[in-house]
Every structure is written in structure tokens, then in C-alpha cells.
Amino acid sequence: MRDPRELINMPISAPPANVLALSGIRIARISTVPFFVVTQLKHQIAMLAQSGALVTVATSAGAGMEVLRSMGSVRCEIIDIRRAISPGHDAVALLRLFLFFRKNRTQIAHSTTPKAGLLTAIAAFLARVPVRLHTFTGQPWVGMRGVKGRVARWSDVLVGRLNTRCYADSASQREFLIDQKIMGADRLAVIGAGSLAGVDMRRFDRTRFSPADRASLKRSLGIPEVACVLLFVGRITQEKGVRELLQAFGALKPGFPEVHLVLVGPADEESGVGGSLSHEDLSQLEDVHCVGYTDCPESYMAIADVLCLPSYREGFGTVVIEAAAMGVPTVGSAIYGLTDAVVNGETGLLVPPKNFGELATALHRMLESKSLRTGMGEAARRRAQALFDAEKVNLQVAQEYGALLRGKNMVDTCLS
């Protein structure tokens, strides 16, 4: 098995000639935290830089910044963008973004994550950045009530009004935002088949892990080699449906005593929409293994029989197509975002959110039929390769940039 750090830092292929029209274009990618950029956008940003674009990543300091700084062709600008509402810090961040855009004469400002999206939209509009973009990856206000929820919802409306164009990372999320009157259909698009940056098919490849590798990881967790493994990857928080997953697992256990549940991800105490679940509490449950954060989630996907994602909300569900690339089917919630990532009955099963009984029934169906799991896993892998290969998705993003620049007469070369 290759070192996961080697895979994360693997050089990308040379950009196609038709992307070179971005040469010299000053692009800023803005996010709340560097960890998000590294895990979701690193290869997309590297491809843009290799095409000759002058790319700067603006984000807070934190985990992942060293990786961004190691990308010699990409500049980093540290701007403290707090995840929580903080009027004083937010005002300073807004001013710093405005000055950054003006000083660098930014031509494309593209934000992701909610707080960065709002501050970028305002600052880029005031700085007269020609092309102002935001990608929605889920709406926190769906799980909020009261004044905080109304403010978060209004923030998305403002993002839509101030930007040149916005994107949803799934078709169903786009429909939801339009139905909720966040913005009109003419201002909101989906690039390709969806997702933020696709999936690295070289990294999420089951053949990287030998039978010995998989057996060794199971032994390290105390899981028998013949046991079935249910896998959750994500923030350990209520809005991800972890409580319902634990209830469903408890209901399944008497009928499937050999099944184990592996939870991969950090406890999220700052979500503000339903609370977190501690690793200490989870570790007391029989045959539940809580491993925390890892920079190699694909190793756990290699031992998984089924991915479980019973979220209350998702923009797309990147972890679903990562698992799909590994040949692992998903049981998830029938919510916008996941209905794009999972083809119900073909690459996985979808159930109503917040319903542990339906979740248990779907998992029971998966666990009792190896042929069903295998068939859906193979279909999921083929679909991930056809629609969500990162190289294809990143090229589509570059082509979108070129089209927007042509519309403003800022490039001479057409992207085909």
C-alpha cells in the first residue's frame, strides 16, 4: 500500500491546452479554514495554477496551512474568518478581504463555506471584482430556528444577489434553493454532474489495499476478519444522523452479532445545530469503534461493506462518491444532495431522515445479501468513474471560468 501522504501530494496531470486561456488571470479562492481547502480543493487549485493562472488561497490559519504553503505555485493569504458569528472579527475580516481584492486586482473571487461566502460576496462587490462566484455545499439554516436561522438564510440570499454567479454542488440542492426563493434559476448553476471537486480515482482505489492490509487494519481495531463492517465518515454530530445510526445498529445487533460499526471523524462541538457526540460516550458501546480524524479515510473504506450517511442535510455528500470509487455502496438519507450522490436501488439505498427504523431495515437488507452489496458497489464505482473523476470535474470548473471571462471580454482564447 502506498503512503496516503504520497497520494495526497501526488502531482496532477498537465492541464489540457484549452485551459491555458486562464494564463495570467488573477484568481482568489476563499474558504473559512485551510483544512477544507486541502481536503476538497487542493488538486483543483493546483490544476488552475499549472494552467498559468495566478492563484491565491485566502483562509484562516490552522491545520492544512503548511500543505497549502508547500504548493509553490499558489500564494496564501491568512485572513481570520471565524466560523461562528463574531461582529468585531467579521468586520476586520471583511475589510481585509476588500483590501486584498483591491491590492491584487483580483479578477475571479470564488468562495466556499457559509461565512467565507458572505464576507467574500460583500468585499468582492465593493472592490468591483469582475467575476464573483460562490459554491453552496449545504445550508446550515435548514437545521436552525429563530433569529439565528433567519439571519443565516438571509445571508444566502445576499450572497446570491451580490455575486456574478453561484453554484450548487448538486442538482437537488439547486432545486431546493430555487424553491426556497434564495435566488432565481438564471443565477444558480451546477457544474457537470455535481460535487465540489470530484473524487481522486487514483487515491480512492481499492486495489491499493491488499487482503493483508485489510486484515491488519481489522485486527488493529479488534474486528474479526470475517465480520461485516458498517462505516460512517464525517463529523460526529447529531445533524449527521449519528444518533439514528447508533439506534439502528443496536436494533440490528441481535440478528447480526458479527457486525461492527466504525466511526471515522472528529467530534464537532461548534456545529450549533443539534450538538455533538463525544468519542468517550461512543467508545462504551459494544462493537462500535470511534477512530477520530484520519488523513487516510480510504483505508477504512477498504474494509467497509456499507457506508452509512443518515444526515439531516448535505450539499452533495463527497464521502459517498469517495466510497463509491472504492466499490462501497451507501445507505443514506433521502435528502437533497444525497439523492444526487446515491442512485436509490442501484448504487445504494435511501431512507427518510431521522428515522432509525427505516435505516435499520435498509441496513438489514444490505447485511443479509452479499450479492446485493457487491452489485451495488460495482455500480457505484462505475458511476463515480464516469461522472465524478476529479480530473474531469476540475476541467469543467476551468472551462466555466473561461466562459465567464469571455462574457466580460477578459480573455481572447475560447475554451472548447
Separation of alpha carbons 242 and 274, rounded Å: 11
- Cα(18)–Cα(144) distance, rounded to whole angstroms? 44
Rounded to 5°, the CA angle 344-337-183 comes to 140
Helix, strand, coil percentages in the chain from 3-state DSSP, rounded to 5: 45, 15, 35
Burial grade of 180 (CB within 10 A; 0-12, 13-18, 19 or more):
middle
* Structure confidence at residue 83 (pLDDT): 82
Residue 380 in contact with residue 329, Cβ under 8 Å?
yes
pTM, two decimal places: 0.84
How would you class 284 by CB atoms within 10 Å of its CB: exposed for 0-12, middle for 13-18, buried for 19 or more?
exposed
Q: Give me the pLDDT at residue 207, please.
A: 95
- Domains of the chain, by residue range, sit at 16-198+389-407, 206-387
* Predicted local distance difference test score (pLDDT) of residue 3: 47
Q: How far apart are CA 61 and CA 35, in angstroms?
A: 9
Please write the tens of the pLDDT for every residue from 214-259.
999 999 999 999 999 999 998 888 889 999 999 999 999 999 999 9
Fold of 206-387: Rossmann fold (3.40.50)
pLDDT of residue 235: 83
Which pLDDT score, from 0 to 100, does residue 380 have?
98
Question: Per the structure block, which three cell numbers stand in for 336?
Answer: 437533497
Establish whether domains 16-198+389-407 and 206-387 are of one fold. Answer: yes
Note the pLDDT of residue 239.
Answer: 86
CB 199 within 8 A of CB 158: no
Using DSSP, state whether 387 is helix, strand or coil.
Answer: helix
**What CATH architecture does domain 16-198+389-407 belong to?**
3-Layer(aba) Sandwich (3.40)
Q: Which of 335, 343, 321 is CA-nearest to residue 392? A: 321
**What does each of the 416 residues of the chain score in pLDDT, given as a tens digit?**
444 444 444 455 555 545 556 899 999 999 998 988 988 899 899 999 988 999 999 999 988 888 899 888 899 999 999 888 888 999 999 999 999 999 999 999 999 989 999 999 999 999 999 999 999 988 888 877 888 889 889 999 999 999 999 999 999 999 999 999 999 999 999 999 999 999 999 999 999 999 999 999 999 999 999 999 999 998 888 889 999 999 999 999 999 999 999 999 887 655 443 455 666 667 668 899 999 888 899 999 999 999 999 999 888 889 999 999 999 999 999 999 899 999 999 999 999 999 999 999 999 999 999 999 999 999 999 999 999 999 999 999 999 999 999 888 765 433 33
pLDDT, residue 5, reads 44
